[in-house]
Amino acid sequence: MREKLKWVLVIVASMALGGAVVVGIDSTRSDAPRTTTVINSVSSPAETNVAASIPDDVADLYERVRPSVVKITTGNGFAGGVGSGVVIDKEGRILTNNHVVSGGGDIEVTFADGTTVSAEVLGTDPGSDLAVIDVDVPAGRLQPATLGDSSTVRVGEFVIAIGNPFEIEGTLTQGVVSGIGRTLGGNAGGRPLRQLIQADAAINPGNSGGGLFNARGELIGITTAIENPSGDRVFVGIGYAVPVNVAKRFLPQMIAGQRVDHPRLGVSMENVASGVLIQRVEANSAASRAGLRGGVNGDVIVGIDDVEVRSHLDLGNYIDSKSVGDKVKLRIVRGGSEITVEVTLEAWPLNSSA
């Protein structure tokens, strides 16, 4: 009999590269800690940016989107785990979390009708905790989810989460968007997850890779973390989802099996009244190559390109919107004078902690 699922909450403080603050990670595996998640899919809607109200019939909404959500079982024997995923096209591609499929071993997908098939990983984006897997299923049996536009999500908007918490298949929970633009540290290589959607729809171990849908049945996020300051494996109303627009941005690379890189400066920072003080510059980083200085009397970043920088979140979010190899111009205060320094952004090393 499989041992009970374990859940670990990790609180991480990270100011690296505009890093953020708190991250919750749980487990869906029986042998190791994991993160909880919700799903995503693909299709482009053209809808208004007005937050959807509670639908007249949540049961009808569930019936419409449920066939898009699958259960993902990984590993072998007692070293297995259970997560969720979302069908994104008629080619048999399924979007899920990287942490759901990163443990190795066999992967099986179970559809809403009970059909179970083998799957293989096409590509991953550990920095965003995303992955795409592939199944060989006739197109007529696949119901892709419709991808919404997470840039239009508003606090207070109605949402449902569908996944497989604690291996209980096809579970629906509902709630509202509690916050947007959240940043969580401690992801792969130390890279923060940015612009997350916070929602109070209950998610638990096994929801990882499942879907966060709006009232129109559009996928707006992929749940990836829960937060419980007590450390217990109990949902207390705070869950986070990777916005669907992040998945849209990197889907082509993941489907092609290409490595997904994310840009960084390579500094640790502290918010100050005038901007962001560089506390430490990592050796052999983009920042060190550009000659940036850290320490008590280090450089204070007050702007990047044409964007004013008031906090490390401003800086981190802007850099995250760029690509590796892009050049940015930092306006910094050094020794009482403002100067401009050009930096060529480099990739987050997979094993970096800063």
Q: Which domains does the chain carry?
A: 38-255 (2.40.10.120), 263-347 (2.30.42.10)
Residues in Cβ contact with 341 at an 8 Å cutoff, skipping those fewer than 6 apart: 290, 291, 292, 299, 329, 330, 332
Mean pLDDT by 10 residues, the chain (354 residues): 33 26 34 33 39 81 98 76 96 96 93 97 96 97 97 97 96 98 79 95 95 98 90 86 97 97 95 96 96 96 97 94 97 97 92 39
What was the pLDDT predicted at 231?
A: 80
> Is 99 one of the annotated active-site residues of the chain?
yes
What was the pLDDT predicted at 22?
A: 33
| Residue 6 host element (H or E) | none
Q: What's the one-letter identity of residue 175?
A: G
In three-state secondary structure terms, 254 is helix
Contact present, 131 and 121 (Cβ < 8 Å)? yes
What was the pLDDT predicted at 104?
A: 84
1 C-beta neighbours (distance < 10 Å), count: 5
Contact present, 103 and 32 (Cβ < 8 Å)? yes
Q: Tokens for 226?
A: 């829960």
Contact present, 216 and 47 (Cβ < 8 Å)? yes
pTM of the model: 0.83
Task: Give the chain's largest Cα–Cα span.
Answer: 67
Strand locations in 164-299 (E): 171-184, 193-199, 210-214, 218-226, 239-243, 263-264, 267-272, 275-281
Angle at 246 between CA 89 and CA 165, to 5 degrees: 70
Instruction: With CA atoms as reference, report the closest residue to 16 among 272, 281, 224, 226.
Output: 281
84, 208, 268, 285: the active-site residue: 208
What was the pLDDT predicted at 17?
A: 31
Q: What is the dihedral of CA 9, 13, 19, 23, to 10 degrees?
A: 10
Contact present, 328 and 264 (Cβ < 8 Å)? no
CA–CA distance, 30 with 6 (Å, rounded to integer): 7
CA–CA distance, 97 with 83 (Å, rounded to integer): 8
125, 129, 149, 320: the active-site residue: 129
CA–CA distance, 49 with 59 (Å, rounded to integer): 24
Contact present, 165 and 171 (Cβ < 8 Å)? yes
CA–CA distance, 155 with 212 (Å, rounded to integer): 14
| Residue 346 host element (H or E) | strand 346-347
99, 178, 285, 312: the active-site residue: 99
Q: What's the one-letter identity of residue 223?
A: T
Instruction: With CA atoms as reference, report the closest residue to 305 among 276, 326, 279, 336.
Output: 326
Q: Find where tokens 């199944």 sit.
A: 135
What was the pLDDT predicted at 343?
A: 98
Contact present, 7 and 56 (Cβ < 8 Å)? no
CA–CA distance, 25 with 40 (Å, rounded to integer): 19
Q: What is the DSSP letter of 247?
A: H
> Is 129 one of the annotated active-site residues of the chain?
yes
